[in-house]
Amino acid sequence: MKKILVTGGAGYIGSHTCIDLLNNNMEVVIVDNFSNSNEKALDAIKKLTGKEFKFYKIDYTDKDEMEKVFLENDIDAVINFAGFKAVGESVKMPLEYYTNNVYGALVLLDLMRKHNVKKFVFSSSATVYGDPEKMPLTEDCKIGGTTNPYGTSKLMIEYILQDLYKSDNTWDIVILRYFNPVGAHESGLIGEVPKGTPNNLMPYISRVAAGKLKELSVFGNDYDTKDGTGIRDYIHVVDLAHAHLKALEKLNKEDSGIYIYNVGTGTGYSVFDMINAFEKANNVKIPYKVVSRRDGDLPVSYADTKKAKEELGFVATKNLEDMCKDEWNFQKNLNKED
């Protein structure tokens, strides 16, 4: 497989994946409208890989513009990162979320069918498991019961992909269910730049460390966990990016099919574990206060990673210290720009 269309390729996970693709001698065509990213990520990809790629500044829901991309490039496979992903924002803007995430995916899949490109890697989320039936989560756990439009948009696209494959089993699809992506490229040149105040734990911690936010609010210390705080499966974004390469390899060598994999480390850390690890790795202080639970939060969520290991050969290699160090390294670079 050679030429990969990456929608949302300038974004947080997309940019890290493009680096890995280019470093592995694949050709990359990036589509991004910079709705939650900017040109700097593209410059960084070039700098870090020393490779060229094609770029289109296009909204991926624009079918006419997207058609040009398929006409001008002989695409072998598509990875779709062009989703909106802020849970709270999705509650306030459901139509925008469903339009961008679900309609955008439909536009893309329709064009892929038209141009006979039937290899697709989709960024899904552990959120599709809703209220989990068991822990760790295996891919055959029931899905559904999502509590916000962001999560429901991921669930809907999973259903759409299943139906699509049923209608035409020459499609070849990998669905990756991400757990909690954190960290940044070790160069410090790319990472996550949340719009406004971050909602997720790790970017919040790094902004507190940088003095941009006063203190972290720990959402509840009365869960039935080892220290009372919520437990999650944090995965370094560079590891997560690599899972996409493994997914492409799978699409290349297997007969067609639709495959689903959890992408996590299989280890759960509490909020206090994260604070302590960040302080220790970076020699900084994270002031915090415990507040009440956040609506919709699960006590515990972590992946069973066996299937991804056995079928994709994917195993996360970076530990919590790497995640904390790389996150801070990127944050310090952002501070220099402020």
According to CB under 6 A, which one of 73, 162, 187, 200 is a site residue for ligand WQD?
200
C-alpha–C-alpha distance, residues 31 and 16, integer Å = 15
Query: Helix crossing, 12-23 with 39-49: angle to 10°?
Result: 20
Stretch that binds ligand WQD, among 48-56, 217-225, 249-257, 313-321 (CB under 6 A): 217-225
**Least distance in Å: CB of 81 to ligand WQD?**
11
- Select 117 or 264, whichever has its Cβ closest to ligand WQD: 264
- Say how far apart CA 318 and CA 185 lie, in whole Å: 12
Among 66, 69, 271, 281, contact with ligand WQD (rule: CB under 6 A): 271
Which member of 53, 60, 70, 204 binds ligand WQD (CB under 6 A)?
Answer: 204
33 or 124: CB nearest ligand WQD:
124
**Contact call for residue 180 and ligand WQD (CB under 6 A):** yes
Pairing of strands 54-57, 172-178: unpaired
Report the site for ligand WQD in 10-39 (rule: CB under 6 A). Answer: none
DSSP assignment string, 120-165? EEEEEEGGGG-S-SSSSBPTTS------SHHHHHHHHHHHHHHHHH
- Which residues in the 75-114 window bind ligand WQD by CB under 6 A? 85, 87
Q: Which of 201, 241, 258, 320 binds ligand WQD (CB under 6 A)?
A: 201
In the complex, minimum distance from the CB of residue 301 to ligand WQD, in angstroms, rounded to a whole number: 6
User: Minimal distance in Å, beta carbon 248 to ligand WQD?
Assistant: 22
The b-or-e profile of 184-202 (16+ CB within 10 A means b, else e) is bbeebbbbbbeeeebebbb
- Report in angstroms how near the CB of residue 69 gets to ligand WQD at its nearest: 25
289-318 residues in contact with ligand WQD (CB under 6 A) are: 294, 297
Pick the closer one to ligand WQD by CB: 279 or 311: 279
Query: Does 129 contact ligand WQD by CB under 6 A?
Result: no
Residue 146 touches ligand WQD, criterion: CB under 6 A: no
Nearer to ligand WQD, 230 or 266 (CB): 230
Task: Select 119 or 136, whichever has its Cβ closest to ligand WQD.
Answer: 136
Q: Is 217 in the site for ligand WQD (CB under 6 A)?
A: yes
Q: List the one residue out of 299, 263, 274 whose CA is nearest residue 135.
A: 299
Q: Does residue number 125 form part of the binding site for ligand WQD (CB under 6 A)?
A: yes
CA distance 8 to 199: 20
Residue 241 CB burial class (10 angstroms; 0-12, 13-18, ≥19): buried
Helix axes 12-23, 237-253, angle to 10 degrees: 60
> So which residues are the catalytic ones?
150
Only one of the segments 14-22, 96-104, 183-191, 212-220 lies at the binding site for ligand WQD (rule: CB under 6 A); that segment is 212-220
> 235, 178 in Cβ contact below 8 A?
yes
Helix (H) or strand (E) holding 72: helix 63-72
Instruction: Report, in Å, the least distance between residue 316 CB and ligand WQD.
Output: 16
Which of helix, strand or coil describes residue 18?
helix
- Closest by CA to 59, choosing from 37, 42, 35, 40, is 35
Beta strands in the chain (DSSP E): 3-7, 27-32, 54-57, 77-80, 119-125, 172-178, 180-182, 216-219, 231-232, 234-236, 258-263, 269-270, 288-291, 300-301
Binding mask 223-252 for ligand WQD (x = CB under 6 A): -------x-x--------------------
The residue nearest ligand WQD at its CB is 230
Give the residues lining the site for ligand WQD (CB under 6 A): 85, 87, 125, 127, 151, 180, 199-201, 204, 216-219, 230, 232, 271, 294, 297
